[in-house]
Each structure stands twice: as structure tokens, then as C-alpha cells.
């Protein structure tokens, strides 16, 4: 019996509530891209009757001390439970030394960090060019997972076009997880073509269902429900893993 469905990969927007209703989502993690989007995520969370969990956004790697202070305030006062990074437009690699004090603060606050991983077909976002080299987060995530073993790290999109390397990192490190968001984009570009459900089932065989988080962006809960996974594995992916990672009480 799946008691709570948590979408670990959603973005603030007007249509979120309707998608949640259609897909039967109980709670969505709001991942901001940009400071204005962070403000929107906070506002949605404040008005959302407990249906939204906002994540934090680092405005500038050159003002990390300020980001550390802001993060603690947002966690304590605004309900932030994690951090979203989008290296494609923030133009950094995860093992950038400027971020190490920030990772330490995340560790102290017991909140996870999520990295977009993979190259997408957008030319720019927020007026900033998407630079493909920063989509290759795998070596940097490996480094920080090793140096910060108590920091929970989420690889978005199951690694995207770096899926197999992401599987290895998730298997290698106890503190590394993957989400299932936007899999159709990457799957339909693979040759031979595979379906998102096949990618998820294969990942469970390699890393176990406890390391995979349900994320939307086109991946609906039906993809998980229709899989050949066991009831327990489906429950883990659709909500239980996220509940534990976010340290939420059982409903």
C-alpha cells in the first residue's frame, strides 16, 4: 500500500497544483532556478497547506558566506529542506572549492543537495547560456560524496546522458541517490531506444529501490506503478525514500 506520493523534482509554476491533482501527488519538492524562482517557491510553500517543500538556490558562488547565512535562515524560518544546483547555468563543477563551506553547512543542517546532471537541448535559461561541460557533474559528485560522507547528494534525471556513470556512483556511495525526472527526454535519444520504466527497473537491480527518488517532469507515478517492481520497491521510490531523506513524519 503506497501511503504518500512525493515528487522530488518539481519547479515552481502556476500549473503545479493541477499536475499534482491529475497525477495523485501528495507533496512536491519545489526546485528553484534563480533567485526570483526561489521567492516564488517560498510563496507557494507558504500558501500550499503543507503540499510543497521548497529548496534553496545559491545566487553567487562568490558570496558563499552570505549563502551560508541565508540558507540557515531559510531552513529555520521558511521551511527549506534542501538545495538545488543547476551547473549548466551556474557554471561550476560540484567539487568547486568555493562551495565546500556551503556543503559543510548543509551537512550540519542535515539537508540534501540536488544537482542537475546531463546535457539538455536548451540554449539558455534566465538569459544565461547552457554550457554542456557543466552538465558532466559525475567526477565532482564522486569527489564531494567522498569528502562529505554525511552529506546526502541527489543526482537528478538518473544522470541523464551520463546514466551509467550515475548508477556506479549511486552504488559506490551510501550518501548518493538518483531521481527519475525527465527520463523520457534522455530515453528517446538513446540507441537502442529504451523506455523510462526499463531504466528504472534496471537501476533498482543495480543500486536497490532505497536509492531512487520519484521525480516528475514527464515521469508520472503510473510509470512506477506499471513496472515489474515489488510493492515495497514501488513504495520506496514513490514516497518513502523522499520522506526519510527530507526527515518528514509518517502520514
When pLDDT is cut at 50, 70 and 90, the band that residue 190 belongs to is: very high
- The confidence score (pLDDT) of residue 225 equals 96
Q: Is residue 140 part of a domain?
A: yes
Q: In 170-190, which positions are buried (b, 16+ CB within 10 angstroms) versus exposed (e)? A: beebebbbbbbbbbebbbeee
Number of domains, the chain: 1
CB–CB of 227/219 below 8 Å?
A: no
Residue 251 lies in a domain: no
How large is the C-alpha radius of gyration of the chain? 17
Q: Pick the range with the lowest mean pLDDT from 113-127, 151-165, 175-189.
A: 113-127
Helix axis angle, 138-147 relative to 163-172, nearest 10°? Answer: 10
pLDDT tens digits for range 196-223: 999 999 999 999 999 999 999 999 999 9
Q: Is residue 250 part of a domain?
A: no
Compute the distance between CA of residue 220 and CA of residue 23 in angstroms, rounded to an integer. 7
Calculate the CA 45 to chain-centre distance. Answer: 17
pLDDT at 91: 95
Which one, of 204, 153, 216, 228, lies nearest residue 180 by Cα? Answer: 216
- Please write the tens of the pLDDT for every residue from 90-112: 999 999 999 999 999 999 999 99
Distance, CA of 56 to CA of 24 (rounded, Å): 25
Domain that holds residue 189: 6-245
Q: What is the pLDDT of residue 251?
A: 62
The rounded mean pLDDT for the chain is 96
Global confidence as pTM? 0.96
Mean pLDDT of 133-140: 96
CATH of the domain at 30: 3.20.20.140
Does the pLDDT of residue 129 top 90, yes or no?
no
pLDDT recorded at residue 120: 87
Question: 88 pLDDT exceeds 60?
Answer: yes
Task: Decide if 108 is inside a domain.
Answer: yes
Mind spelling out the 3-state secondary structure of 90-119? Answer: HCCCCCCHHHHHHHHHHHHHCCCEEECCCC
What does the pLDDT look like over 34-82, one tens digit per residue?
999 999 999 999 998 899 999 999 999 999 999 999 999 999 999 999 9
**From residue 98, how far is each of 60, 101, 186, 194 by CA, in Å?**
10, 7, 31, 38
In a domain, 1, yes or no: no
Amino acid at each position: 500500500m503506497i501511503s504518500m506520493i512525493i515528487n522530488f523534482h518539481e519547479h515552481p509554476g502556476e500549473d503545479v497544483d493541477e499536475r499534482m491533482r491529475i497525477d495523485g501527488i501528495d507533496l512536491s519538492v519545489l526546485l528553484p532556478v534563480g533567485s526570483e524562482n526561489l521567492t516564488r517557491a517560498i510563496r507557494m510553500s507558504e500558501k500550499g497547506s503543507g503540499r510543497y517543500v521548497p529548496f534553496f538556490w545559491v545566487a553567487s558562488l562568490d558570496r558563499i558566506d552570505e549563502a551560508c547565512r541565508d540558507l540557515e535562515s531559510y531552513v529555520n524560518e521558511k521551511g527549506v529542506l534542501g538545495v538545488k544546483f543547476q551547473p549548466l547555468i551556474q557554471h561550476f563543477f560540484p567539487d568547486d572549492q568555493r562551495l565546500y563551506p556551503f556543503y559543510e553547512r548543509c551537512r550540519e543542517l542535515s539537508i540534501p543537495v540536488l544537482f542537475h546532471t546531463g546535457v539538455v537541448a536548451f540554449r539558455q535559461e534566465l538569459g544565461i547560456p547552457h554550457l554542456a561541460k557543466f552538465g558532466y557533474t559525475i567526477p565532482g559528485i564522486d569527489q564531494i560524496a567522498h569528502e562529505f560522507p554525511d552529506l546526502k547528494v541527489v543526482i537528478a534525471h538518473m544522470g541523464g546522458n551520463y546514466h551509467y556513470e550515475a548508477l556506479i556512483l549511486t552504488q559506490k556511495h551510501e550518501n548518493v541517490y538518483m531521481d527519475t525526472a525527465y527520463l523520457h527526454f534522455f530515453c528517446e535519444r538513446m540507441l537502442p531506444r529504451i523506455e523510462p520504466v526499463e531504466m528504472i527497473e534496471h537501476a533498482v537491480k543495480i543500486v536497490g529501490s532505497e536509492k531512487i527518488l520519484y521525480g516528475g517532469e514527464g515521469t508520472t507515478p503510473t510509470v512506477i506503478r506499471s513496472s515489474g517492481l515489488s510493492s515495497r520497491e514501488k513504495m520506496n521510490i514513490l514516497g518513502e525514500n523522499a520522506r526519510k531523506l527530507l526527515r518528514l513524519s509518517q502520514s
